[in-house]
Chain A
Amino acid sequence: MTFQELVSRVGGTVVVDNPDAEIGFAYASDLLSDVMGHCGDESVLITIQNHLNAIAVCTLAGIEAVVICHSRPVPDDMKDAAEREGVGIVTTPLSQFAASVALSDLKPSSR
């Protein structure tokens, strides 16, 4: 799935673009330690963690994009880090469950 397709599936707003991302897997979690322990690469992370550390975890795990649920605002330091690290960010009014359903074509991410 392309980043553009992901954005349209969740009815989202692009905060940081990642046009070249190829996304095959998805993981939904709000505990970053859990994400780091279980989420693999080529993934999208579905979460409400609108925090700089979420991008650091994406970098470590090889996560291509983050879907921030409930339209939580993305702070500038998180946005800057995502641009620097090449991680896409999209915000959506959907909940984590609703966003997961919208992306149910993707395979469960694991490592």
Chain B
Amino acid sequence: MFAIITVMRFDLHIHSCLSPCASLEMSPSEIARRAAEAGVDGIAITDHQSARNAPAVAECARRAGIACLFGLEVQTAEEVHTLAIFDTVERALAMTDWVYEAMPRRVNDPETFGDQPVVTADDDIVEMEWRILAMGCRRSIPETSAKVRELGGLYIAAHIDRPNFSVIGSLGAIPSAPDGSPYFDAVELSRTADESVWAPRAEGYAATRSSDAHNLDDVALVWTEADCEFSVAGLKAAFAAKATRLSPRITSFVR
């Protein structure tokens, strides 16, 4: 008997043009094409506070022949960046609605923060998101973790090695519930993080490495591998077994 082992290589943190800080060249169609060229099997698009480009991403990933999950980078009340990732567009949009309910009611100024276009799979602009996606919401990490679990998603602490907007940078450590249970399924190391330094600081969590790409050249520049199905359940099992392998880090600007 042989077990069929599927090696999946994936990049779980990519911004589309909807993120105010991302390049406008980051349309779902270009991202999917670039990710397929770069040789990853699966991607997740995780815009700040919103999955409103998820419908276009689903279609573009299908056309490009790569697997895709749907998420958002929730900036919590603690001003910590966290990834909420789901199997379906519907769940990612339900998460988005929940985050939007707790966003400031102030209107985005594109001159200050950047444009936030919601687009189709064919790069047409549907509308400009009016909320300030660059700002945090009033949902805390414990609340967000509970909501992600309710919606059947993955919850990952983003770029824990960075001084700003990370659990360690903002809170000093990776928080867990009073009963000791974890809020997160895994942690993310950024493209430059030294795994030998930061994996031990992940305090027993599985590590992932993702690009946090804001422009096309950076899509799938770094990645994570696991022997699993590219789904929330598959990744959850791989994370629980700490069975992830990370790409080398980027140590210079020369590629």
Chain A residues in the interface with B (C-beta under 8 A): 31-33, 36-37, 49-53, 56, 59-60, 72
Contact = CB atoms under 8 A, between A and B. Distances in A.
A24 B159 CA distance: 38
Given A49-B164, A50-B164, A56-B134, A33 B104 contact: yes
Given A32-B79, A32-B135, A33-B136, A51 B113 contact: no
A56 B113 contact: yes
A60 B134 CA distance: 13
B228 to A, nearest CB: 35
Contacts of A49: 164
Contacts of B109: 59-60
B112 interface: yes
Contact of B134 (A31, A50, A53): A53
A100 B155 CA distance: 37
A53 B79 CA distance: 12
B136 A60 contact: no
Contact of B79 (A33, A50, A52, A72): A33
A72 B164 CA distance: 11
Contacts of B135: 32-33, 36
B69 to A, nearest CB: 27
Interface in B150-176: 163-165
A46 to B, nearest CB: 17
Contacts of A53: 134
Given A60-B109, A60-B112, 14 more contacts: A31-B136, A32-B135, A32-B136, A33-B136, A36-B106, A50-B163, A50-B164, A51-B165, A52-B21, A53-B134, A56-B113, A59-B112, A60-B106, A72-B163
A59 B112 CA distance: 7
Contacts of B113: 56
Interface in B89-121: 104, 106, 109, 112-113
Nearest to B78: A31
A46 B109 CA distance: 24
A61 B195 CA distance: 39
Nearest to B111: A59
Contacts of B21: 52
B42 to A, nearest CB: 30
A32 B80 CA distance: 11
Contacts of A59: 109, 112
A37 B135 CA distance: 11
A59 B132 CA distance: 14
B221 to A, nearest CB: 19
A31 B79 CA distance: 7
B112 A56 contact: yes
Nearest to A49: B164
A82 to B, nearest CB: 13
Contacts of B164: 49-51
Nearest to A73: B163
A102 to B, nearest CB: 24
A59 B77 CA distance: 21
